[in-house]
Amino acid sequence: MRISFNDILYAFSYALDCAEQELLGVTTHHGKRVAYLCVLLGKHLQLMENQLADLAACAILHDNAITEYIQAEYLNGIGMESEKSKSNKGVHCSLGEKNIKHLPLCSEAENAILYHHERADGSGPFGKTEGETPLFAQLIHLADNLDSNWDLGRMNQQKYQGLLQYLKENNGSLFSETCVTAFTEAVGYSELELLQQEDLEEILTGCLENTQRDYSEENLLDFAKMFARIIDYKSSFTSRHSMGIAERAAQMATYYGYDRMTVAKLFFAGAVHDIGKMVIDKDVLEKPGRLSNQEYKYVKNHAYYSYKILSRVRGLEDITRWAALHHETLNGKGYPFGLKAEELGFNERLMACLDIYQALTEERPYKPGFSHEKSMGILRNLVNIGNLDGTIVADLEKVYGGNPVKNS
């Protein structure tokens, strides 16, 4: 399957930016600014094109575990400004490295996320010195620190001079001499001015080679598992929901006799179907009581955001529909687009059934997991009022009721 790796990263970067902005207060396009700065430094250090592309990938994904980390801190009652939280900086690095472990990246990318908070003098979370820290991690550390502390999206000459002084004062202690030298030689005020542009994605793309590649079923599964893990940790209310949908989608695809690539694509669609929830405020997603009408309408926007985010990826057109239209109904009363039966393909209908079945059967903080029998009764009622496809609901009964056969 031929898709653009850059497109996937940029799409995910948008979702991750929304989460970071809510949870950490960083400004929009943080991941892309870090990536652009890393690429400038990498070019100056004469990295190869494939290395630059993978450096950009690691930079965009450097905080990929932030939702997982914040969730763990929240559950443990640790405030983000507490000393314990600051001392636990290595936790999200470890989780982030684990999440990207199976992505098709070059060897230089190994431990780039794990050690991206290490200081040159060895006083970082893992005690690694400049000589013990991979170059990719050093570059991401510098770019991340500068954007977080100096707001590179709003640069002026006075701030730029202060930034240069900051680098000089922290050369060899906070930052590696290699990175500081590369920055002072390769990054002038004009380069930083570009970080203020809204078309930063196009600027970054122009710095990199075309990364549209052929990916195997295994590659798709690896992408999907990473996205699902990050999406599900946005809220404790839906822990493992995306992976549950992905696994059920693959089971049903196998039941229908689909080829291996289509099985993988449906797994991917299930894994990312709720990526739009990264844009929705956590406080609303986890409101303990009943949502107001306004809040409910706001949460429903996640389906549109899923469509918007996934539509950015060339080569994912069918997966985008399967994933993002899971709240559409056959009678045209669903969302985000109010599509009718004739506008919904079989796999879109399948995902709609699976999303409801999974939500009913899984335990949530506000309800126990329903039995298969109770869940199927609810699904059959939804068939009767014109929401769901009756044939697919009957197939769910066969597969999850213990009598699967089809495979044709």
244 and 366 co-located in one domain: yes
143 and 264 co-located in one domain: no
- DSSP, collapsed to helix, strand or coil, labels residue 241 as helix
CA distance 122 to 139: 16
CA distance 98 to 222: 12
Using the predicted structure, report yes or no on whether residue 85 has a pLDDT greater than 70.
no
Question: Rg for the chain (alpha carbons), in Å?
Answer: 23
Domain membership flag for residue 340: yes
Looking up tokens 């996320």, which residue turns up? 113
158 and 23 co-located in one domain: yes
Question: What CATH number is attached to the domain comprising 121?
Answer: 1.10.3210.10
* pLDDT band, residue 210 (cuts 50/70/90): low
CA torsion 10-12-15-20 (nearest 10°) is: -90
Domain membership flag for residue 408: no
Q: Look up residue 387 and give its DSSP letter.
A: S
* pLDDT band, residue 21 (cuts 50/70/90): low
10 and 99 co-located in one domain: yes
CA distance 137 to 143: 10
pLDDT at 69: 63
Domain membership flag for residue 405: no
Domain membership flag for residue 18: yes
pLDDT digits (tens, 9 = 90+) for 101-133: 888 888 999 999 999 999 999 999 999 999 999
283 and 365 co-located in one domain: yes
Domain count, the chain: 2
220 and 204 co-located in one domain: no
CB atoms within 10 A of CB 166: 17
Percent of the chain whose pLDDT exceeds 90? 62
**Domain final residue pick, 148, 181, 213:** 213
Q: Using the Cα atoms of residue 355, residue 351, residue 274 and residue 247 in order, give the sign of their dihedral.
A: positive
Contact 30, 192 (CB under 8 A): no
Contact 269, 354 (CB under 8 A): no
Domain span at residue 223 reads 216-400
pLDDT at 30: 87
**Domain final residue pick, 213, 231, 264:** 213
Domain membership flag for residue 406: no
Domain membership flag for residue 322: yes
CA distance 31 to 66: 12
240 and 384 co-located in one domain: yes
Q: How many residues does the chain have?
A: 408
* pLDDT band, residue 84 (cuts 50/70/90): very low
83 and 222 co-located in one domain: no
CA dist 315 → 10, 138, 380 (Å): 14, 33, 35
Which residues pair with residue 331 across a beta bridge? 340
pLDDT digits (tens, 9 = 90+) for 183-198: 999 999 999 998 887 7
One DSSP character per residue, 31-73 reads: HHHHHHHHHHHHHHTT--HHHHHHHHHHHHTTTTTHHHHHHHH
152 and 175 co-located in one domain: yes
Contact 250, 270 (CB under 8 A): yes
Domain membership flag for residue 407: no
238 and 148 co-located in one domain: no
End-to-end CA distance of the chain: 23
126 and 227 co-located in one domain: no
191 and 273 co-located in one domain: no
pLDDT digits (tens, 9 = 90+) for 278-309: 888 888 888 877 889 999 999 999 999 999 99
**Domain final residue pick, 213, 247, 270:** 213
pLDDT digits (tens, 9 = 90+) for 41-60: 999 999 999 899 999 999 99
pLDDT at 403: 62
pLDDT digits (tens, 9 = 90+) for 151-174: 998 999 999 999 999 999 999 999
